[in-house]
């Protein structure tokens, strides 16, 4: 579910609208940490899209965990 970008960072392969995929990835991630309320966008509490360590890009996010 990840791609490595030019900066050698892990980029989520599902893009920014793969809600089930982002929830599945977060479910198995030991580093998940919920972001502040106003920055959460997924309905599933535990989702990479709600994680403090995701850094949004134009098409997806980079995982900083």
Chain residues binding another protein by CB under 8 A are 19, 35-43, 52-58, 64
Return the number of the residue (2 or 57) whose C-beta is nearest another protein: 57
Return the number of the residue (13 or 43) whose C-beta is nearest another protein: 43
Distance CA 9, CA 3 (A): 8
Helix (H, G, I), strand (E, B) or coil at 11: strand
Quote the least distance from Cβ 28 to another protein, whole Å: 21
Return the number of the residue (13 or 41) whose C-beta is nearest another protein: 41
Starting at the earlier edge strand, list the strands of the sheet with 54-56. Answer: 2-4, 10-12, 61-63, 54-56
């Amino acid at each position: 579910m990840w791609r490595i970008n030019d900066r050698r960072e892990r980029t989520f392969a599902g893009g920014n609208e793969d809600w089930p995929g982002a929830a599945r990835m977060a479910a198995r991630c030991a580093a998940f940490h919920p972001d502040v309320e106003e920055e959460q966008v997924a309905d599933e509490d535990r989702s990479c899209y709600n994680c403090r360590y995701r850094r949004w890009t134009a098409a997806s996010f980079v995982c900083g965990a």
